[in-house]
Amino acid sequence: MVRPLGFLVGLGFITALVLAILTTPLKNEPNVAHEFHKHPKHLKLASDGILLPHWDKAQLQRGMQVYKEVCSACHSLHLVAFRDIADLGYTEGQIKTFAKGFQVPSINPDTGEPATRDGLPSDYFPSPYANEVAARAANNNALPPDLSLITKAREGGKDYVYSLLTGFQNPPANLPAELKPGTGLHYNPYFANLNLAMAPPLTEGQVTYADGTKATVDQMSKDVTAFLVWTAEPKLIKRIQVGYAVFFFLLIFTVLTYLSYRNIWADKKH
Amino acid sequence: MSFPWAKPYEPTHPLMKWMDEKLPIPRLVYNATGPGYPVPRNLNYFWNFGVLAGAALMIQIITGIVLAMHYAANADVAFNSVEHIMRDVNAGWFIRYAHMNGASMFFIVVYLHIFRGLYYGSYKAPREMVWLLGVVIFLLMMATAFMGYVLPWGQMSFWGAQVITGFFSAIPLVGEPVREWLLGGFVPDNATLNRFFSLHYLLPFVILGVIILHIWALHIPGSSNPTGIEVKDEQDTVPFHPYYTAKDGFGVGVFLLVFVALTFFSPNTLGHADNYIPANSLSTPAHIVPEWYFLPFYAILKAFTFNFLWIDAKLWGVIAMFASIALLFFLPWLDSSPIKSSNYRPLYRIFFWILVADVLLLGWCGMQPAEQPWVILSQLGAIYYFAHFLVILPIVSRIERPLPMPNSITEAVLAKHATDATSASATA
């Protein structure tokens, strides 16, 4: 009974699928934006891979400077606290001073009125806008995303962020009119629909690095991307290091279990 | 419940004797996974995956209980509470990544366990009940994994919940009310997140219960083996302990090595970038894709693009997707061949490997956007999937001529060693 019924059900599904094949066009709708879209360029960082990766602290410090002086005008970093930047090689005193440079929202203890106070190491990087409406109002109705997780939250990760920052250019001459950037939009072939609300954020020499590194657009993009790799996963290096210890411990465990398995089965053909 | 030559449990220590009279748990363990359970001597490494699935479930339960201590099931804070675990909780990043990749490892070993069963005919009499309970476990796992993926409340969590609960709205008349009842609203929201968290915590223990039934049902006929020939006498078997505890110990070691490599060195490879963006009901991701372990079924869902008879394409897809799993319940009766192991089934073996390739193809197609050639490939893949179980298998099991079989497990083992010895002496 099961087999004849199953046979009929199977024929039903197969007929529906054959009809689906016959009625589905084999040609895709042409997607012009696809032709102009570019794959991200590869960015090599000290924190890459699993062969002894490390944080390049000088680069992360430069990257944080770029974030603070450029990106933070529009983008928040709300998952990162000032205390976290100890990872970047700052001392406790430096972190206190750094935090003090920010005003964070608070409450006047006498009146209960909203107020601000100096930042503490336990505070998080403050957001540039009070809320989403304010952010959109200031940005031609576009919402600048929070950057804390950005290198994990986009396909292509750090490569994508680096490519986007360095990818602003004039639209190619053969770009169809409907793909041309409208008012307030900027052409960038690394962005999914080619036109991005963010204006090119970096210009040559925009920041002055304390360590004397030349602040080219490419250099600043690399540095800030490296910083955003750290903000997305501050435990990345520790994770790899612990991983090695656990892996080698288990390797020894597995070799021992294999030897005991061979030993126990030695007299048994199987 | 066991073979007559099974070693009886004879406690010698007074405490163990006392315990045996009051609550014979040591006796149960001894007879289930100890020297009191005779197992065929010829099991290969594919028989490790049952124990590995159990290990994976225990890892999920333990890491999950710890995560629940720090996670907050509230739509406003769920996303940030996961990031709090990743950043501020001691070793929280490890617990969270272990849980996230533990789900993938669980599905990898369970898929290998299922395909082992398909190749060696483990679903056939006298083990039909073992197979049926296994399919129930698989369904419960899928429900649990789906609800777990919603909890971080990222974009894929939200839109995955939207799409998967949307399947129910394809049902005529009652579909939309059923969907709203499941979600606790018109779209996934706080009510959805709370109930999914509650069920995600409950279902693993239900799975644990069904696993106990699965093992109980297995222990009545005893384990199957690569020849598919039933155990005939004592020399066909070895006691589970120490023989298979040792072999499973080694298997667990290899499993943990793969698990650790994934968790520590590449924890986000099997995930999706969009789930690091907080859920936003106003912004739909460009491609909504489920976790990798659902992709073959997702491809079957999307393969139906034609309104056939009075059923529209969407409902066909939903019915077919559920049917693709439900048909596994009928497998013991779809395959009428008395031969269990594909080693002796020359024709079925070919179709088995086509099925493996087909499921991999469907998985690959499930990941792709709705464009050619992926649409036609998933349609062809879905045709083979249903044809394999509902048309080919019943016919093959009727017309196939099996290869000559050994008389017993021991004979098969000794014959294998004799040929190994001759080939060894020939080369020497």
Active-site choice (B104, B157, B169, B223): B223
> What is chain B's alpha carbon radius of gyration, rounded to the nearest angstrom?
24
**Inter-chain residue contact B303 with A20, CB threshold 8 Å:** yes
Reply yes or no on whether B180 is catalytic: no
β-pair type (A103-107, A186-187): unpaired
d(CA B385, CA B324): 8
A264 contacts on B by Cβ (under 8 Å):
242-243, 246
Structure tokens at B318: 């939903």
ipTM of the complex: 0.93
Reply yes or no on whether B291 is catalytic: yes
| A107 inside 8 A of chain B by CB | no
Query: How many residues comprise chain A?
Result: 270
Structure tokens at B284: 């739909």
- Report the predicted TM-score, pTM, of the whole model to 2 decimal places: 0.94
| A122 inside 8 A of chain B by CB | no
**Inter-chain residue contact A269 with B414, CB threshold 8 Å:** yes
Reply yes or no on whether B219 is catalytic: yes
Residue with tokens 């009310």: B177
B305 contacts on A by Cβ (under 8 Å):
20, 23-24
Query: In this complex, which of A11, A235, A269 lies closest to B93 when CB atoms are compared?
Result: A235
Active-site choice (B200, B247, B302, B388): B247
Q: Which of B409, B53, B49, B31 is nearest to B239 (CA)?
A: B31
Q: Is the peptide bond before B242 cis (omega within 30 degrees of 0)?
A: yes
| A199 inside 8 A of chain B by CB | no
**Inter-chain residue contact B334 with A233, CB threshold 8 Å:** no
Angle at B326 (CA atoms; ends B322, B329), nearest 5 degrees: 175
Query: In this complex, which of A6, A17, A258 lies closest to B304 when CB atoms are compared?
Result: A17
Query: Would you tell me which residues 233-252 of chain A have a C-beta closer than 8 angstroms to some C-beta of chain B?
Result: 233-235, 239-240, 242-244, 246-247, 250-251
Active-site choice (B236, B274, B291, B358): B291
Query: In this complex, which of B304, B371, B390 lies closest to A20 when CB atoms are compared?
Result: B304
b/e code B154-190 from CB counts within 10 Å (16+ = b): bbbbbbbbbebbbbbbbeeeebeeebeebbeeeebbe
- In chain A, DSSP finds a helix count (H) and a strand count (E) of 8, 4
Query: In this complex, which of B250, B372, B394 lies closest to A27 when CB atoms are compared?
Result: B372
Reply yes or no on whether B248 is catalytic: yes
d(CA A209, CA A214): 7
pLDDT in tens, chain B (428 residues): 578 999 999 999 999 999 999 999 999 999 999 999 999 999 999 999 999 999 999 999 999 999 999 999 999 999 999 999 999 999 999 999 999 999 999 999 999 999 999 999 999 999 999 999 999 999 999 999 999 999 999 999 999 999 999 988 888 889 899 999 999 999 999 999 999 999 999 999 999 999 999 999 999 999 999 999 999 999 999 999 999 999 999 999 999 999 999 999 999 999 999 999 999 999 899 889 999 999 999 999 999 988 888 888 889 999 999 999 999 999 999 999 999 999 999 999 999 999 999 999 999 999 998 888 999 999 999 999 999 999 999 999 999 999 999 999 998 888 888 877 676 666 55
d(CA B253, CA B259): 10
Strand partners for A186: A196
